[in-house]
Amino acid sequence: MRPLLTVEDLSIAFGDVGPPVVEGVSFALDAGETLALVGESGSGKTLSAKALIGLLPRAAQLRAGRAIFRAPGGEVDLLRLPAPALRRLRGQTISMVFQEPMSALSPLHRVGAQVGEVLRVHGYEGSVEDRVLEVLDEVGFPDPRRAHDAFPFELSGGLRQRAVIAMAMVGNPKLVIADEPTTALDVTTQATVLELLRRLGRDHALAVILITHDLGVVANMADRVVVLNRGRIMEAGGCSRVLSAPGHPYTRALVAAAPRPPSPLASCGAAAEGTAILSVSGLSKTYPGRTRTFGPPAPPVRAVADFALCLERGRTVAVVGESGSGKSTVAKLITRAERPDPGARMVFRPEAGGEEDISTLSGAGLKAYRRECQMVFQDPYAALSPRLSVQDILTEPLEIHGIGNRAERRARAAALMERVGLSAGHLGRFPHAFSGGQRQRIAIARALALEPELLICDEPTSALDVSVQAEVLAMLEELQAELGLSMVFISHDLTVVSHIADRILVMRRGRVVEEGDPACVFGKPRHPYTRALIAASPEPDTERRLDLKLVAAGAGEPEDWPAPYGYVEGDAPGLVEIAPGHLVRAAA
Amino acid sequence: MIGYLIQRLGTMAVTLLAISALVFVIINLPPGNYMSNRIAEMQASGEAAGIQRAEEMMAEYSLDKPVWQQYLIWIGALPGPTGFSGLLQGDFGWSFELERPVIDIVGETAALTAIVNLAALVFVYVVALPLGAIAAVRAGSWIDYLASFIGYIGLATPNFLLALILLTYGARYFDIPAGGLMHREFEGEPMSWAKLGSILTHLIVPTIVIGTSAAAAVMRRLRANLMDELHKPYVETARAKGVPPVMRTIRYPLRMALNPFVADIGNLAPQLVSGSVMVSVVMSLPTLGPVLLHSLKSQDIFMSGFVLLFVSVLTLVGMLISDILLVLLDPRIRLKSKRRGA
């Protein structure tokens, strides 16, 4: 018998004349199997999958191919099915899980209504509500009734994605297409959602097409892998074979670029002596609660509490945490985009000598500090004005600080472009002409235009493909060595910072819970949250799958951490030095 | 929800008070007033007899007092020569020029203005929303171009010209009555079914004339808004669920795109009133536009004050309606206000 789905020679192009963006893609998939379509952005992995249920964007055209699907009523070619017949399959027999749960759900409709809609449009016989509650329970909502009546924005990110999964599961599908289902989630949430998908696949003998760029996710989920690059299949085969012994050079490069935690190192010592360029202590930031027309204002939000950091000249300190941990607020406070609560000390010692407390700077003093401290932002698409040419972007900081004349500024811009590996001939172009990685290089060049001593990088690589991420990280390290930069590196991803950081601070809910050099933090993690983060990072190795017990122990509320780490009624224990240079927040 | 309503009504009252003060100050900014102008006129022409009567009237309507006292007397917070008698007591003042109480002159006019504007508002939304939605969904098709074409004509044609054209051809080919808001025989008559029917047929042309440009603007904006929403992920989710196209568009992106238009109901009201002055003159509609213009020119302060305040009330009521609709339509706003109110 044929497999559930056989795709043969799929080709897709934009417009009538353009070159195909997907060409000759073939794969087969049977019930109970998970097939991973792996590739970087632009590889055609999403297009290939969306073509199967007729969700191609309007500009994309099917050029050739067949997709034979064993539908309940007999075999059909999905690519040639008339729209009403395809609609009957969609949602019910073939369903989809999307990447971004917030935007994939309508904010105006209740979760229950959106999940139940699948049943209603397909004429479900029976109680829609009962079935919806059953599915909400199955995907792990602690209180299905409440979830049923909630609006998506009332749920956390992980629960929202569970709602999306419930929507995909409610019609008892045969095939589920999951498009980067966990990319938008925090690592610990990702681990639990991956486990949920695995369980559902097993319990319902689902065929799953998993679209992802993350080889760690692949290793944890897939039975078979298809590696795509520029619309063509590079390599296909069993998951462990492809990951452990990649045949194609592209796959080898991809596997090599995937971030992995360092193998535990023996040395775990105190921080090296040196003069700190930046020492921060007692740093807190409280945002006032919403003011209300009647009644007292909402309680204030403590974004950062009692943060301390010591950055030695020429070194890198990494601040790691999930969304809402306060790590980006720390970046804003150090760059003084925000003013810290009174009582903070942030001593900056420029190379020229002297020292000043930047926490209270204003006016000319603040402007002078900004020359020394620059920031690289997360999203290179949003951080560069689309209306300024690269030349204007790079010379603007020089103009603001009145450095050089017009010709000198232009020469400096050209030199910066060359320095970050781009051609000075492209200075006249606008940001949209560059790829994500190139844009981030431009953003870094802009940050370096003023020759700062201190560089704050807020998730500089999380919007980039893995191979590009590796390049940008390597470039940052190179620039640091060459220019003697000191860096504060903000990230949600422990494995990314493990290579670049000299010291790691792990944050949760505004507080540092563990601090040490990478060898300490990775080799001898003590705090349950750090352990959860490490356990939750998927590795491209089928032998080392996610350990959900460790994740569950540390990813919860700080009050739920085991003694001596747990907070008691919101009161956090202090940081304790358990080994030279290795600090953990625990009751002594 | 009830708490929210009370809160909104409270702010509305405060806003209205502020507006009334502002209106009164502004209409009193030009030097002199209707009576002092009359007195000056009579002095110049040597009519001594009328002067004393005019001065009596100045005192009767407290025009000789400082402006802030005049204001308080006008709104009824301070006793005038005849005791408390102001807006709060339901006395809208006296028109010097027409020598009748303001309410007698503009009472029906105000009601007709409200009716004309309401009709225009309904016309705007009934025409613009479906056309704009179809234009967005079928972007680039003949129906999109046709809707755009009509829209541009609506935006580009001066209202009074459109009024003249419609009146001429409406009267010639469709027997639509030309000018006025009712047949002459009903003027000043009490309301009856025949009168209502006459008003309705007379409403057709003014509604189209006043509403067309606003409808065109709303249509263009809805098209743009909806086109942004059409490709959002939640629409793709609905496609992946197998929801049929028309149901899908109405249920998800259209609802998201509607918010700004609901919020606009309040803003449209004053626009329509001021925009209809010219049309009212051309079509001899008994609406407030021409009355306002005339009373402002002759410094008939109680008259113009009343008209301006009436327009403000229309706006505030429009805004209240849009706020209530927004709360009903958008759970994000509803839950936020609930959290605040509770």
For the record, the structure tokens of A102 come out as 């917030």
Q: What is the DSSP string of A403-470?
A: -S-HHHHHHHHHHHHHHTT--GGGTTS-GGGS-HHHHHHHHHHHHHTT--SEEEEESTTTTS-HHHHH
Residues B33 and B38: their CA atoms lie apart, in Å, by 9
Contacts of B244 in chain A (CB under 8 A): 87, 121
Of A55, A122, A151, the CB nearest to B239: A55
Nearest to B233 by CA among A98, A460, A290, A501: A98
**Are A151 and B331 in contact (CB < 8 Å)?**
yes
Least confident among A110-119, A196-205, A291-300, A326-335: A291-300
Q: What's the pLDDT band for A166 if we cut at 50, 70, 90?
A: very high
What pLDDT is attached to residue A273?
A: 44
Least confident among A317-331, A483-497, A568-582, B12-26: A568-582
Nearest to B269 by CA among B328, B209, B327, B210: B210
Could you read off the pLDDT of B186-208 as tens digits, one per residue? Answer: 776 777 777 778 878 888 888 88
Of A99, A121, A290, the CB nearest to B241: A121
What pLDDT is attached to residue B340?
A: 42
Any B CB within 8 A of A146 CB: no
Could you read off the pLDDT of A238-258 as tens digits, one per residue? Answer: 999 999 899 999 999 888 888
Q: Are B211 and B154 in contact (CB under 8 A)?
A: no
3-class SS of residue A307: strand
Of B252, B256, B332, the CB nearest to A153: B332
Residue owning tokens 């204030």: A300
What pLDDT is attached to residue A267?
A: 46
For the record, the structure tokens of A346 come out as 């942030």
Neighbours of A432 (CB within 10 A): 9
Residues A348 and A357: their CA atoms lie apart, in Å, by 6
Q: What's the average model confidence in pLDDT over A125-131? A: 91
- pLDDT > 70 fraction of chain B, expressed in percent and rounded: 92
3-class SS of residue A186: coil
Q: What's the average model confidence in pLDDT over B51-56? A: 78
First-to-final CA distance of chain A: 65
Q: List, in sequence order, every beta strand (DSSP E) within B134-254.
A: none
Nearest to A493 by CA among A474, A516, A513, A466: A466
Any B CB within 8 A of A21 CB: no
- What is the three-state SS of A532-570? HHHHHCCCCCCCCCCCHHHHHHHHCCHHHCCCCCCCECC
Q: How far off is chain A from B259, nearest CA to CA, in Å?
A: 11
Residue owning tokens 């008892």: A172
Contacts of A55 in chain B (CB under 8 A): 236, 239-240
Nearest to A451 by CA among A332, A317, A351: A351
Contacts of B332 in chain A (CB under 8 A): 107-108, 151, 153
Burial class (CB in 10 A: 0-12, 13-18, 19+), A161: buried
Q: ipTM of this model?
A: 0.77
Burial class (CB in 10 A: 0-12, 13-18, 19+), A51: buried
Of A100, A117, A290, the CB nearest to B241: A117
- What is the three-state SS of A375-408? EECCCHHHHCCCCCCHHHHHHHHHHHCCCCCHHH
**Are B233 and A104 in contact (CB < 8 Å)?**
yes
Q: What's the pLDDT band for B169 if we cut at 50, 70, 90?
A: confident
Tell me the backbone φ, ψ of residue A91, rounded to 5 degrees.
Answer: 85, -40
Q: What is the DSSP string of A218-261?
A: HHHH-SEEEEEETTEEEEEEEHHHHHHS--SHHHHHHHHHS--P
Instruction: Evaluate if residue B27 carries a pLDDT over 50.
Output: yes
Q: What's the pLDDT band for A270 if we cut at 50, 70, 90?
A: very low
What pLDDT is attached to residue A262?
A: 64
- pLDDT > 90 fraction of chain A, expressed in percent and rounded: 46
What pLDDT is attached to residue A271?
A: 47
What pLDDT is attached to residue A269?
A: 45
Given this chain, do its domains A1-93+174-256 and A277-283+302-585 carry the same CATH topology? yes
What pLDDT is attached to residue A268?
A: 44
3-class SS of residue A276: strand
**Are B234 and A106 in contact (CB < 8 Å)?**
yes
What pLDDT is attached to residue B275?
A: 64
Burial class (CB in 10 A: 0-12, 13-18, 19+), B64: middle
For the record, the structure tokens of B244 come out as 């049929």
Chain B residues whose C-beta is within 8 A of a chain A C-beta are: 7, 231-234, 236-244, 247, 251-252, 255-256, 329-332, 335, 340-341
Contacts of A108 in chain B (CB under 8 A): 252, 255-256, 329-332
Instruction: Evaluate if residue B63 carries a pLDDT over 70.
Output: yes
What pLDDT is attached to residue A490?
A: 93
Mean pLDDT of chain A: 88
**Are A103 and B232 in contact (CB < 8 Å)?**
yes
B335 CB-near residues (< 8 Å, 6+ apart): A151, A154
Q: What is the DSSP string of A33-94?
A: -EEEEE--TTSSHHHHHHHHTT---TTEEEEEEEEEEEETTEEEEGGG--HHHHHHHBTTTE
CA A353, chain centre distance (Å): 39
Q: A312-346: string of b/e by CB count within 10 Å (b at 16+)?
A: bbbbbbbbbbbebbbbbbbbbbbbbeeebbeebeb
Q: What's the pLDDT band for B79 if we cut at 50, 70, 90?
A: confident
**Are B332 and A104 in contact (CB < 8 Å)?**
no
Domain residue extents for chain B: 20-91, 106-341
Domain A1-93+174-256 architecture: 3-Layer(aba) Sandwich (3.40)
A130 or B89, which is more confident: A130
Nearest to A537 by CA among A221, A253, A259: A259
Q: What's the pLDDT band for A261 if we cut at 50, 70, 90?
A: low
Residues B178 and B163: their CA atoms lie apart, in Å, by 10
Any B CB within 8 A of A118 CB: yes
Q: Are A148 and A136 in contact (CB under 8 A)?
A: yes
Rg (CA), chain B: 25
What pLDDT is attached to residue A582?
A: 86
Could you read off the pLDDT of A329-372 as tens digits, one per residue? Answer: 999 999 999 999 998 889 998 888 788 888 888 888 899 999 99
Domain residue extents for chain A: 1-93+174-256, 101-172, 277-283+302-585
Residues B141 and B120: their CA atoms lie apart, in Å, by 28
Q: Write the single-letter amino acid at A249.
A: P
Instruction: Evaluate if residue B9 carries a pLDDT over 80.
Output: yes
Residues B279 and B161: their CA atoms lie apart, in Å, by 9
Instruction: Evaluate if residue A207 carries a pLDDT over 90.
Output: yes
Beta partners for A235?
A: A227
Q: Are B311 and A264 in contact (CB under 8 A)?
A: no
Residues A29 and A21: their CA atoms lie apart, in Å, by 22
Q: What would the CATH number be for the domain defined by B106-341?
A: 1.10.3720.10
Contacts of A163 in chain B (CB under 8 A): none
Q: What's the average model confidence in pLDDT over A494-506? A: 87
**Are B240 and A55 in contact (CB < 8 Å)?**
yes
What pLDDT is attached to residue B262?
A: 84
Q: What's the pLDDT band for B332 if we cut at 50, 70, 90?
A: confident
First-to-final CA distance of chain B: 10
B183 CB-near residues (< 8 Å, 6+ apart): B177, B198, B202
Could you read off the pLDDT of B265-324 as tens digits, one per residue? Answer: 777 767 766 666 777 777 777 777 778 888 888 888 888 888 888 888 888 888 888 888
Nearest to B118 by CA among B130, B128, B126: B126
Does domain A277-283+302-585 match CATH 3.40.50.300? Answer: yes
For the record, the structure tokens of B41 come out as 């006129």
Residues B221 and B234: their CA atoms lie apart, in Å, by 21
Nearest to B307 by CA among B320, B62, B298: B298
B260 or A164, which is more confident: A164
B47 CB-near residues (< 8 Å, 6+ apart): none
Residues B86 and B79: their CA atoms lie apart, in Å, by 9
Of A103, A121, A292, the CB nearest to B234: A103
Could you read off the pLDDT of A11-23 as tens digits, one per residue? Answer: 999 877 778 889 9
Instruction: Evaluate if residue A412 carries a pLDDT over 90.
Output: yes
Nearest to A202 by CA among A34, A72, A71: A34
